[in-house]
């Protein structure tokens, strides 16, 4: 049965409400859609972790579409023709690997190609992977069809001069799931590699990509809630979002108009 949870995350949690308060110089918060759901992950908690964690760092208002535990589900966030109008960015945290409908997929990617900022988290990299179109993979900036065994992952920074990575030191997760990247597309810059602590196997882990007029940040890190709750993880994902939206300074700080009042 289809299950749908619509959450207008002008979040009721106190900490996040503080971060979404009055904006500097009357600037409205960024409006961001989180698309969540599909198989294999704790999306009930992850939608809250992401919204709270980003909201504590940046002035953002969220809408969340979380639907289904099926890999073949077509999330209704994308149902309308201009589904993306009114949003500054979309955070894709979805696991719909068995959806093959080319027209459906290209209606998603077209929005990003026309300039919608994007962030892709973990299993979004495997979503729509069995479709004949390459548009989702071109939007992602990488191609991945599988992953290795569960293991801790060491995050090794490759581009420490990129604003998203400024001041971030290598760190290691207690648990994880390292995705195999079979192709890095031409407009993609890899920011960090992941090294599986179990056997030293290394794969690209974090990157940025330009897709048409849109900018995006992607990472395959984030299978477990324990990883998402890490300060470095939430800082990087927040910076990735703000970079894609053009609101990140060269030193890695969020531009003043969009920095949460409670942020360090």
> Consecutive sets of 10 residues in the chain, 264 residues long: mean pLDDT of each?
38 37 68 96 96 98 95 96 97 97 98 98 97 98 97 98 98 98 98 98 98 98 98 98 98 96 64
Written as one string, the DSSP assignment of 60-121 is: EEEEEEEE-S-TT---GGG-STTTTTT-SEEEEEEE-TT---HHHHHHHHHHHHTT-EEEEE
What is the structure's pLDDT at 113? 98
What is the structure's pLDDT at 131? 97
Q: Which of 255, 230, 247 minimizes the C-alpha distance to 174?
A: 230
What is the structure's pLDDT at 2? 38
Q: Which of 149, 173, 157 minimizes the C-alpha distance to 224?
A: 173
What is the structure's pLDDT at 263? 61
């Amino acid at each position: 049965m289809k299950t749908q949870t619509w959450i207008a995350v002008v979040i009721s949690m106190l900490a996040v409400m503080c971060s979404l308060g009055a904006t500097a110089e009357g600037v409205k918060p960024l409006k961001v859609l989180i698309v969540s759901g599909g198989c294999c992950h704790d999306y009930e908690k992850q939608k809250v972790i992401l919204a709270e964690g980003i909201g504590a760092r940046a002035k953002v208002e969220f809408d969340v579409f979380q639907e289904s535990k099926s890999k073949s589900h077509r999330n209704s966030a994308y149902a309308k023709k201009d589904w993306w109008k009114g949003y500054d960015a979309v955070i894709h945290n979805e696991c719909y690997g068995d959806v093959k409908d080319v027209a459906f997929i290209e209606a998603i990617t077209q929005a990003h190609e026309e300039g919608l900022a994007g962030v892709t988290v973990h299993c979004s990299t495997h979503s729509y992977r069995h479709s004949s179109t390459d548009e989702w993979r071109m939007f992602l900036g990488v191609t991945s069809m599988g992953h290795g065994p569960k293991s801790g992952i060491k995050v090794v920074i490759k581009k420490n001069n990129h604003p998203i990575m400024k001041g971030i030191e290598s760190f290691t997760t207690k648990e994880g799931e390292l995705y195999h990247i079979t192709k890095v597309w031409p407009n993609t810059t890899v920011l960090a590699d992941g090294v599986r602590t179990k056997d030293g196997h290394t794969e690209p882990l974090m990157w940025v990509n330009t897709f048409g007029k849109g900018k995006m940040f992607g990472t395959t890190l984030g299978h477990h809630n324990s990883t998402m709750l890490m300060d470095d993880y939430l800082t990087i994902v927040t910076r990735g979002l703000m970079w894609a939206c053009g609101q990140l300074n060269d030193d890695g700080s969020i531009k003043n108009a969009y920095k949460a009042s409670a942020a360090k």
